[in-house]
């Protein structure tokens, strides 16, 4: 039986918004909320947080170690800028057969949506399964699933700085060589922005948490959409921020 592990990439030195994943929301960092929500996935075995091996990022290891999660959470330290190398070595170290890639600046990640991408990968003969091209889910629910052998191939062959930093573009840019499956939402809501790149994004996230977290700490995409239907002006908080694909 295949071991399916989530690998969450995290670092403090974001160019646009440094230390964003350590901002406290209702007693937990953005990073810990992301891990907490991912831990609700039914299709995975372990959660690995891949962080840089620099002293500035020691604080992330401290943050993770001081929280409790419902699934095992492991920490891997690797190259800060060669994220592909960090992913490959983390997967190798923990003997992952299938890797689920999620980024740490997505504290609205929906376990059910991510599970659907994993299920899509398992039920179809594809090399990679994801849910973002074309985008029909909000930016911030992105989930990418690939097998270990493909990750190893990309690690050995991708050479540009962009490919090394973003892990999967090498696969997307060589679609003639790989079979890629995109999971789509029933309604196209790909224009919505639920990730954190700028302070306005954080403000939006906090407003969502204010309305939902005390009712259900694992609120879903549907719960957020219900709030936005009642209070559509919330979308204006970070509307000016364009999608960073």
CB 107 within 8 Å of CB 34: yes
Query: Rounded CA gap, 228 and 113, in Å?
Result: 18
Q: Would you state the pLDDT for residue 244?
A: 46
pLDDT in tens, 132-178: 999 999 999 999 999 999 999 999 999 999 999 999 999 999 989 99
pLDDT in tens, 177-226: 999 999 999 999 999 999 999 999 999 999 999 999 999 999 999 999 99
The mean pLDDT value for 115-124 works out to 98
Backbone angles phi, psi at 202, to 5 degrees: -65, -40
Instruction: Give the architecture (CATH level 2) of 4-197.
Output: Alpha-Beta Complex (3.90)
Percent of the chain with pLDDT over 90: 94
Q: Would you state the pLDDT for residue 15?
A: 85
pLDDT in tens, 159-170: 999 999 999 999
Query: Domain residue spans in the chain?
Result: 4-197
The whole-chain average pLDDT of the chain stands at 96
First to last CA, the chain: 34
pLDDT in tens, 26-49: 999 999 999 999 999 999 999 999
Find all residues with CB under 8 Å of 220, minimum gap 6, and list them.
110, 112
Q: pLDDT band at residue 22, thresholds of 50, 70 and 90?
A: very high
DSSP notation for 185-216: -SS--TT-B-S-SSHHHHHHHHHHHHHHTTT-
């Amino acid at each position: 039986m295949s071991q399916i592990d989530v690998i969450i990439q995290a670092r403090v030195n974001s160019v646009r918004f440094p230390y964003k994943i350590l901002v406290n929301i209702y007693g937990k960092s953005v990073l810990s909320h992301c891990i907490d929500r991912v831990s609700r996935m039914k299709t995975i075995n372990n959660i690995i947080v891949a962080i840089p091996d620099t002293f500035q990022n020691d604080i992330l290891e401290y943050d993770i170690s001081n929280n409790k999660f419902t699934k095992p959470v492991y920490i891997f330290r690797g190259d800060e800028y060669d994220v592909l190398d960090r992913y490959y070595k983390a997967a190798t170290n923990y003997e992952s057969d299938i890797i689920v890639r999620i980024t740490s600046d997505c504290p609205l990640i929906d376990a059910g949506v991510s599970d659907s991408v994993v299920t899509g990968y398992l039920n179809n003969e594809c090399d990679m399964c994801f849910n973002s091209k074309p985008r029909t889910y909000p930016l911030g629910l992105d989930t990418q699933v690939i097998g270990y052998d493909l990750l190893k191939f990309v690690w050995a062959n991708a050479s540009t700085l962009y490919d090394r930093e973003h892990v999967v573009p090498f696969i997307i840019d060589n679609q003639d060589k790989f079979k890629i499956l995109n999971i789509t939402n029933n309604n196209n809501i790909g224009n919505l922005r639920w990730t954190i790149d700028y302070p306005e994004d954080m403000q939006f996230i906090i407003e969502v948490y204010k309305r939902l977290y005390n009712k259900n700490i694992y609120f879903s995409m549907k719960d957020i959409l219900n709030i936005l239907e009642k209070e559509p002006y919330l979308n204006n908080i970070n509307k000016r921020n364009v999608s960073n694909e």
